[in-house]
Each structure stands twice: as structure tokens, then as C-alpha cells.
Amino acid sequence: MRKRYFGTDGIRGLANGTLLTPELALKVGQAAGRHFLNGGHRHRVLIGKDTRLSGYMLEQALTAGFTSVGMDVVQVGPMPTPAVALLTREMRADLGVMISASHNLYQDNGIKLFGPDGFKLSDADEAAIEAAIDEAVPLAASAAIGRARRIDDARGRYIHAVKASFPEGARLDGLRIVLDCAHGAAYRVAPEALWELGADLTTIGAAPDGFNINAECGSTHPAGLAAKVRDAGADIGIALDGDADRLILVDERGEVVDGDQILALISRSALVSGRLKGGAVAATVMSNLGLEYFLEAQGVGLLRTPVGDRHVLATMRAHGLNVGGEQSGHLILTDYSTTGDGLLAALQVLAVLVAEGRPASEVLRLFQPYPQLLENVPVSRERLLDHPGVQAAIADAEAELAGRGRLLVRPSGTEPLIRVMAEAQDEGLVRRAVGQVCEALRAAA
């Protein structure tokens, strides 16, 4: 059944738009709170957020919803999404909430929910909460209304946990790093963690004002980071996104390194050290064929999933894997975290740099990517992919790519777009395939 509120990664939309309003946040708090009220203990929900202006509004509305059904609320302020997942589990909370629209600009926001185990909610839990949002939820008696409090040591707890993933005794002394925090949730924790490990650190994108999150900075806009790395003569650049669950790198030459190359490095490191579980890695259908062939040469399988880190994680859990990720920079390392964590993944890369003593441009180029082209086509109506002209164009492109590459056409889970991607050794073939499908989509729109 199609969900009305939840998308591929929680509830997301324009703040104060037609969907994401304080009224909805209040109802989500009440519905989710009632769903997780079980047992005789005092119930608790932990709420974190990124730095966008609407976070204050949604935080208070959610708090009102949770407390009205009898749940205590712990507010931790601006904190990365993986920190909320970690703290939910460590503080024995019944539920965790992250208020963020990830890599989107400040106008958007979202609500992500985590269960007591620190993992994102199952489809069944989301469906149950959806059903309750539009119903009258029983409120707590006056004496049973929840309490809300803000805690100040959450940042230190997360920094300690992330640093624990770094090799014992290793340090970052002498390593010149430029860090872009995207004016987002990690603007304090990420610089502190790297400084404590001894890095020679230059930080950009660490002055949030409620409006500048992800604005021409962070993992989706690494050009500024690349320029800074070159100007500073740095060894590596690290770019996080607004809620710090993504990682994109820049080598010492100022060249961008995507999630596929990072996944290749972390996978090889885990394989060599005997830490890779399940004999395979999980990645989405968007990951480059070059990654697949690199892993195959290492004797490691690649299990492809639909786009979305929740699909990657589901495959990892089903097959007993501990490494997975997306080309966009979501890296999931379940030995340390229950969700994507950009800072944690960066530390795994930095550990290899320190151990090997080679430039980032050498360490982070493990395979030659196949030419790949992705274009986004705005859509104004549903079921555009069912149009006969679009289906014919897709069939023609697939026939031309058969045996030489692949085509992927899919609707975005977060925006009104259809994404068209092709890859093959022949770059001209890639451009023709994407072009003809996009042309058909625009003609049918």
C-alpha cells in the first residue's frame, strides 16, 4: 500500500508547506509515542536535529506530541543523524527522532525515526504510525504527561564512540585536512573529533545561521572544498552533508572522490585485515560497474539493492554483511554504527592513509570508473514511466546497451524527478541512451 506520509527516508517536505507543518509533527509525536508505549517502564524519546531554521519549530511540536501521550523527551540539539541512532540505543530510549532533510536546502525539513535498537523503523512500524496519524490518539492523564529536558553531554558521547573506531594508538599528527561541515549538524562534533586525534585541521562550512545548510557546500557541492584543499596544500578534504550521514572526499590534487571509491577502499581494508563479513559488500543499483569488477577481482561479491540506505542496510542484515554503501556517500559500517555515518567512514579512510603513508590520490583510486551519466527530469504527473513513448525509448536504449552497459530509470524517492542513468565503456553510447530517454520523458510530461 502506498504510504501517505513516509517516503524512502522518513517524512520529508517543504517546511510549513502542504505536508510538513507543526500540526503534522504534533500528530507524528502522538502516533509514534503511542506506538512505542509498551511495558511498565517510564518511556523516553530522544530528539536531535540539524541546523535549519524550521528545526526549532518541529522540535517543539514533536515534543508536545510525545509528552501529551506520556513519553519523556530528551533533546540533544544539533547532532548528526548517526549520533541520534547511537544515543537512542545507549540511553535505552524507546524511540529516536532526527529532524533533518539531509542534503536538501534549508527550506525543506524531515522527520526520521529510529527504534530502540538504533535502526530505522521497519515498514510495518511506519505503516502503523501512518494509520494512527489521522486517528484520535488517546492522551495521557494529567499526572502522566511526559517531561522534556535538554542534555549537554551528548556531543562528547558521540565523539568518544566515533574515535573508538580509529585504530588504537594511531594519530593524525601532521596530516593536513580540510573539513567541510555543510553548515550542518556536525559543525561542532566533526572538528572536535579530528582535532582530538591530532589533525592539522582547516574547517569550512561550520557557521550555520539557519539558512545556509548545504548551500553551495558540503558533499553535494564539493567545488569549494576542492579549491580550499589546493590553496592550503592539504593532504585530503572531507565533505559531510547537512545531517552528516554522507561522505565525499577530495584528494590532494583537488579531485573529487565519490562513495564508490570510498567503499572500495574500506572493503579492501576490511578484507585484508580479516574483518570483512559475509564475503560480500552491499551497494545500490547506482554504483559503478568499475566497483563491481574491482570487488570481483578481490574475491568479494557485490549485492545490489534499490536506491536508499535503508535498502542497503536491509540487505546487509539479511546476508550478515558489515560493509555497504551508496555512490552518493552513505557508508554503512555495522561493526560501529546502525546507519550511515560520514565522520566514522572518514576516520576509516584516514586510518589507511596514516598506515600506508601514500598520497590520497593513490590510496583512493582503486578502480577506473566506467563512463556514467545521470540526468534528472522534473515531472508534474504520476505514472509518466507508463507512457508508451517513454517505454519505447527505454526499450530502445536497453537494446543498444545490451551486453555493453546498463540503463537505470527510476522516480526519485524524495523529489518530483525521474532519474535516468546509463553507463558503459563507450561514453558516446551512454550519452545517446540517456538523451533519448530524457527526450521521451520531456515530450510525455
- pLDDT 10s digits, 352-396: 999 999 999 999 999 999 999 999 999 877 688 999 999 999 999
Beta bridge partners of 303: 282
Distance CA 359, CA 236 (A): 9
Which CATH architecture fits 11-152?
Answer: 3-Layer(aba) Sandwich (3.40)
Amino acid in the structure at residue 424: A
Neighbouring CB atoms inside 10 A of 286's CB total: 21
Distance CA 260, CA 283 (A): 9
Could you tell me which CATH number the domain at 167-363 has? 3.40.120.10
Q: Report pTM.
A: 0.92
Distance CA 310, CA 120 (A): 7
Residue 199: the pLDDT is 98
The CATH T-level fold of domain 372-444 is TATA-Binding Protein (3.30.310)
Closest CA to 443 of 391, 406, 397, 396: 391
Q: Which of 54, 68, 100, 102 is catalytic?
A: 102
Confidence band, pLDDT 50/70/90 cuts, at residue 403 = confident
Amino acid in the structure at residue 404: R
The answer to whether residues 331 and 240 touch, using CB atoms and an 8 Å cutoff, is: no
Summarize the confidence of residues 66-81 as an average pLDDT. 98
The tens digit of pLDDT for each residue in 405-445 reads 899 998 887 678 999 999 999 999 999 999 999 999 999 98
Beta bridge partners of 405: 424
Is 68 catalytic? The answer is: no
* SS3 per-residue string spanning 178-235: EEECCCCCCCCHHHHHHHHCCCEEEEECCCCCCCCCCCCCCCCCCHHHHHHHHHHCCC
- In the chain, % of residues over pLDDT 90: 91
Task: Please say if the pLDDT value at position 67 is more than 70.
Answer: yes
Q: Which residues contact 318 (CB under 8 A, 6 or more apart)?
A: none
Residue 250: the pLDDT is 98
For strands 108-114 and 256-257, give the pairing.
Answer: unpaired
Summarize the confidence of residues 41-56 as an average pLDDT. 97
Confidence band, pLDDT 50/70/90 cuts, at residue 226 = very high
Query: To the nearest whole number, what is the mean pLDDT of the chain?
Result: 95
Q: Which residues contact 191 (CB under 8 A, 6 or more apart)?
A: 179, 181, 201, 203, 206
The answer to whether residues 244 and 184 touch, using CB atoms and an 8 Å cutoff, is: yes
Instruction: Assign residue 185 a region (left: φ > 0; alpha: ψ between -120 and 50; beta: otherwise).
Output: alpha
Half-sphere exposure for 193 (CA within 13 Å, toward CB)? 26
The domain locations on the chain are 11-152, 167-363, 372-444
Q: Quick check: do 11-152 and 167-363 share a fold?
A: yes
- Signed CA dihedral, 229, 234, 235, 237: sign only: negative
